[in-house]
Structure 1
Amino acid sequence: MAEIALGHVQREYPNKPDHVLTGPEDLCSPRALHPVFFGSFDWHSCVHGHWMLARLLRRYPAMPAAPQVRALFDALYTEVAVATERAYLDRPHAGGFERPYGWAWLLMLAAELARLEGSAWGKVLAPLAEAFAERFRAWLPKATYPVRSGTHTCSAFALTLAVEYAADHDPALLDLLREAAQAWFGADTACQAWEPSGEDFLSPALTEAACMRRLLSPPDFAAWFDRFLPHLGEGDPATLFRPAAVSDRSDGRIVHLDGLNLSRAWCWRLLSDHWPADDRRRMRAEAAAEGHLAASLPYLAHDYMGEHWLATFAVLAMDV
């Protein structure tokens, strides 16, 4: 997986145009605008590709790709490059840049780099992480309603990822994440799970449950979850237990469904340890996680449309 990620973050594929053109100064290459996070299909894919490399480096410091990862990070994580990334956020009309998906992944990356002993990468990235944390702090109090999608705008996914950074570095942000989760999802009951949609890479239902698992106390989560999915022990809603079928892995949107299978596996694994080992809900959750992994894990490098991001979701699912 490290080799897959190294390949996609180093390719010279242009980033998608996520910024608004306000003048000639905006007509620059992705590498000039984003000297740390360039070279993948889009900015956020490069960010979570870095997160995956950092996680694997921490978990497997002697892996064959480790010297390449360290050399890559040494070259990219410089104060000048991070300052350029930070300056991009001050451009006109950049307030919504990568909200909330890219914000959350950047915080995940910052949390992971900070855990790597013997490196300065986390310290170098810290000013950019703080800038995105401040964006969360400004946005959450005015985000009256959540976005319940299965794609990049999913509010529950952003909260779930941001917890890792907030828990280690920002208690005030952690409080805001809890408040937002409770305000958005606290009253939800009897989830119908009308999914998947044709371009989902996240399960709106399971991602919401994973979010509440991370942000509520165990007793509060148990009470909430029993209301949210009251018939899970009977295998209902059945759609949550069935891996999605992927008809064309060269189609950049249809291949999202491989990501759905991997992210569902992640959610099922996060949720499964909530129950005792002999609880049928735990057994169903563990079986569902394995089934979803088996459906998409063999296809991480099938086509660049999936290759540039799916390995990240595989690591998310397999290293809960």
Structure 2
Amino acid sequence: MAQGLTRDIAERFAGIALSHVTREYPHKPGIVFAGPDDLRAPSAMHPVFHGSFDWHSCVHGYWLLARLLRLYPGLGRAGEIRALFDRQLVPEKVAGECATIDAPAARGFERPYGWAWLLTLAAELRGAEQARWGGALAPLTERIATRFADFLPIAPYPVRVGTHFNTAFALRLAADHAEGAFLDLLRERALAWYGTDADCPAWGEPGGDDFLSPTLIEAEALRRLLPPDRFRPWFDRFLPRLTEGRPASLFTPALATDRSDGKIAHLDGLNLSRAWCFRALSRALPADDARRTAMDEAADRHLAAAMPHLTGDYMGEHWLASFALLALEA
């Protein structure tokens, strides 16, 4: 039976995220230092998102907590989550985040991965209880959304790697926040970048430090951004041999050989993100479509390979649960 999100799993995930979203060290900075005055402690540069090893992981750690709080308001650790948000998601701390990214040298800070996660967090904070925290975050959300919208028209080519720079992943997450002209822009870029792709061989997958499948996340972005009557013909052309288990490289879980190595640990995330995409894409097809069985079975294999390894070493522990949540909810 396919594994899904349960109350017990939610409790575990909340505990994992609460253990690291305010853990300041070790820390990997993503900012460009323009001079010696920029050398500050992570919590001074990022008053809200200074934990979880790096800025983007901290952002999606908050997303995980916000989502679990909405899904399970009576969660055992709900009080800790609310207290954290009341302490951190406040105007003065968000203003400090804004000041850091407003620096001229920070124009490309976290583009596009961290941008997409910030917008996803903002979308999650639209709920009734979460609205007060979303309101506090709004100045940063508005800056990131503007930066994203300004960037897309000047980006003539997609980035098709399996890491943070992947543009399809950014489009997919940003779509959960976007409305109106911004959503139209995301859709236009998706079609310009990927609309004519066909018969994808998934060549080079997986790479040694991938946590995304360039093939599957592209398909998932198009699924999210296109109406079904436009997505399904595109998907038929893009991956025409799924019932044959091809491209074969997509159907075999990746092997992480050293989870203390931050790059190799990415491969556990690849298994989780593949499971997420396989599940979401399967559910976009008719119930009697034979491709659903192939994709659902592949998702189960990838989940089974990754779920035992969400904790144990901080190189994976500071981020993997967010991707596990995506997969379990899909």
- TM-score bracket for the superposition, by shorter chain length: over 0.9
Report the equivalent of 1:105: 117
CA separation of 1:306 and 1:135: change in aligned 2, threshold 3 A: same
1:211-259 deviation digits (Å, cap 9, x = unpaired): 0000111111111111111111211111111111111111110010000
Structure 1: runs of 5 or more not aligned: none
* Alpha-carbon offset, residue 21 of structure 1: 1.7
Structure 2: runs of 5 or more not aligned: 1-12
Determine whether 1:126 maps to 2:138: yes
The question of whether the paired residues in 1 share the 8 Å contact of 2:24 and 2:42 is answered with no
1:110-165 deviation digits (Å, cap 9, x = unpaired): 00011242650011111111110001110000100000000000000000000000
Report the equivalent of 2:174: 162
Count of matched residue positions in the alignment of Structure 1 and Structure 2 = 317
Q: Secondary structure at the match of 1:9?
A: coil
Report the equivalent of 2:7: none
Which range moves more in the overlay, 65-74 or 116-125?
A: 116-125
Q: Secondary structure at the match of 1:16?
A: coil
How far apart, CA to CA, are the structure 1 residues paired with 2:128 and 2:243?
40
Q: Quote the RMSD (CA, aligned, Å).
A: 1.1
How far apart, CA to CA, are the structure 2 residues paired with 1:159 and 1:12?
29
Determine whether 1:49 maps to 2:61: yes
Overall identity of the aligned pairs, in %: 62
Report the equivalent of 1:200: 210
1:261-281 deviation digits (Å, cap 9, x = unpaired): 000000011101122223210
Determine whether 1:214 maps to 2:224: yes
Query: In the TM superposition, what are the counterparts of 1:48-87 in structure 2 within 5 Å?
Result: 48-87=60-99
**TM-score calculated relative to the size of structure 1:** 0.97
Report the equivalent of 2:321: 311
Pick the aligned partner of 1:254 from 264, 287, 292: 264
* Alpha-carbon offset, residue 295 of structure 1: 0.5
Amino acid at match of 1:181: A
Deviation beyond 6 Å, 4+ runs, structure 1: none
How far apart, CA to CA, are the structure 1 residues paired with 2:319 and 2:310?
8
Report the equivalent of 2:151: 139
* Alpha-carbon offset, residue 65 of structure 1: 1.0
How far apart, CA to CA, are the structure 2 residues paired with 1:204 and 1:41?
24
The question of whether the paired residues in 1 share the 8 Å contact of 2:33 and 2:105 is answered with no
Determine whether 1:231 maps to 2:236: no
1:154-190 deviation digits (Å, cap 9, x = unpaired): 0000000000000xxx311100000000000001011
How far apart, CA to CA, are the structure 2 residues paired with 1:13 and 1:312?
20
